[in-house]
Amino acid sequence: MSPRVLIVEDEPDIVELVSYNLRQAGMEVDSAGDGESALERVAVQRPDLIILDVMLPGVDGLEFCRLLRQRPDVRDIPIMMLTARAEEVDRIVGLELGVDDYVTKPFSPRELVLRVKAILRRVDGQARTAAGNTPRLSAGPIVIDLQSHDAYVDGAALTLTATEFNLLQTLMERRGRVQSREELLNVVWGYQYAGYGRTVDTHVRRLREKLGDAHEMVETVRGVGYRLRRDKT
Ligand code: CA
């Protein structure tokens, strides 16, 4: 089945450009010109991924994100953000809305398609892992369920985004081994891209916050990357 992508953008030229390129890549594409109608659309026909512009009339991209992440039925849909300026990226990341990836306008349609595919592969990979016969991983107080994508610390459930879950899963699967930012980008995000190391740092920071008392399980190895501690059982 073709992946279904919802584009939320009020600029027709961009909708057309992105739609064309995604369809060429074998995806089904739907679009909405503002946040309100996009929220309605998402409820009716759940997309596999949302491409979301920051600047929208009415409910803007950031507010849309916040509203989506509050709804249990659709909160885990991956979001690729379109931003007009590189400086906006800092703001978006700072707001910790659980955006999976972002591109700055003007963007190369080819790169956008590659990034969208990378996110979809990641989600698909999680689904396939879930179908296998290793449904749970544990490390010290942390337990993750690969089938339901639930994560727990000392039995208390955490609310993780798809990217945070995948990051935690990767660190757990490679427990005790240092992972460079580049490796994590490659495995978790599905691409290597100069300058995106801070994407990793931001997600690690957010993951640590959510891990609460178990945050020290994720160690920073200065100048190298991150590692999940092995000394706790
Ligand atoms: Ca716009």
Q: What are the residues facing 151 on neighbouring strands?
A: 144, 158
d(CA 87, CA 3): 31
Q: How many helices (H) and strands (E) does the chain have?
A: 8, 12
CATH fold label, 134-228 = Arc Repressor Mutant, subunit A (1.10.10)
Vertex 91: Cα angle to 85 and 94 (nearest 5): 150
- 10-residue stretch averages of pLDDT, the chain, 233 residues long: 94 96 96 94 91 94 90 86 80 72 89 92 69 74 88 91 91 92 86 71 93 94 92 61
- H or E element at residue 122: helix 109-131
Q: What are the residues facing 226 on neighbouring strands?
A: 179, 220
If you measure from the C-alpha of residue 49 to the centroid of ligand 1, how many angstroms do you get, rounded to a whole number? 18
pLDDT at residue 190 in the model = 77
Q: Which residues contact 184 (CB under 8 A, 6 or more apart)?
A: 167, 170, 200, 225, 226
pLDDT at residue 73 in the model = 80
Q: What are the residues facing 115 on neighbouring strands?
A: none
3-state SS assignment for residue 32: strand
pLDDT at residue 122 in the model = 80
If you measure from the C-alpha of residue 64 to the centroid of ligand 1, how many angstroms do you get, rounded to a whole number? 13
pLDDT at residue 136 in the model = 84
CATH fold label, 4-126 = Rossmann fold (3.40.50)
The whole-model pTM stands at 0.63
If you measure from the C-alpha of residue 13 to the centroid of ligand 1, how many angstroms do you get, rounded to a whole number? 10
pLDDT at residue 207 in the model = 95
If you measure from the C-alpha of residue 56 to the centroid of ligand 1, how many angstroms do you get, rounded to a whole number? 5
Which letter does DSSP use for residue 75 in this model?
T
If you measure from the C-alpha of residue 214 to the centroid of ligand 1, how many angstroms do you get, rounded to a whole number? 40
- H or E element at residue 157: strand 156-158
If you measure from the C-alpha of residue 34 to the centroid of ligand 1, how many angstroms do you get, rounded to a whole number? 9
Q: Residue 54 class from Cβ within 10 Å (0-12 exposed, 13-18 middle, 19+ buried)?
A: buried
Domain locations in the chain? 4-126, 134-228
